[in-house]
Amino acid sequence: MLLQRVIRAVIMGPPGSGKGTVSGRITKTFGLKHISSGDILRANINAQTELGLLMKSCIDQGQLVPDDVMSRLILNDLRAIDNNSWLLDGFPRTVSQAEALDDVYTVDTVINLNVPFQTIKQRLTSRWTHLPSGRVYNIDFNPPKVPGFDDETGEPLVQRDDDRPETVTRRLKAYETQTEPVLEYYRSKGVLETFSGTETNKIWPHVEVFLKRKLSSIN
């Protein structure tokens, strides 16, 4: 779809809700640039920028990165692509971050993936990873040919700490506490659109239809 004007969109959803898959499809179908806060964070830490070093020290001490630092980091990157349409993923995570974003940009739409926590727990705790390549298997719907081993190298698979049941429960609880107010913030502004379901492939067509309608009305 050819966009006549710059579109600003945000995608939200708990860890394991299929945000990565849906983001990939949105950027491919509609030509928006995918901006991931996690990627920006890692790039700044690896490049040892001033903000990157500040964040690394927070993370190393087990602290949350302060809202103003996170906002400065993301907004710096967004300013570098001012004339592009983008889809922001992983930011804002708090109302304070949402307000900082609003001070600079008008967000056209916020897509919220509402997947039951039980489904996410099942999905994440079934994930096993080949660490050297980053290949991910799911024992329910994308199992390795030989249980416990990578298809291509035959090396053992591991379950990342993030995917262990107790960690998943903790992450989902933190998401709920931190992000519910952000959803409420965007709901009150009339830009929140929620898509509920248990399968990404069934949620995606609804997201696609909505965005086609939304973007043609904006354009």
Output the known binding site for GTP: 16-21, 127, 136-137, 200
Q: Rounded to an integer, what distance in angstroms lies between the CA atom of residue 48 and that of residue 217?
A: 42
- The one catalytic residue in 171, 173, 187, 214 is 171
Contacts of 144-149 spanning 24+ positions with Cβ under 8 A: none
Binding residues: 16-21, 37, 42, 63-65, 90-93, 97, 127, 136-137, 160, 171, 200
- The one catalytic residue in 28, 79, 160, 164 is 160
- The number of C-alpha atoms within 13 Å of 34 and in the hemisphere containing its C-beta is 19
- The one catalytic residue in 8, 19, 123, 214 is 19
19 is annotated as an active-site residue: yes
171 is annotated as an active-site residue: yes
Binding residues for AMP: 37, 42, 63-65, 90-93, 97, 160, 171
72 is annotated as an active-site residue: no
- The one catalytic residue in 8, 123, 127, 214 is 127
93 is annotated as an active-site residue: yes
CA angle 153–155–161, rounded 5-degree value: 125
List the catalytic residues.
Answer: 19, 93, 127, 160, 171
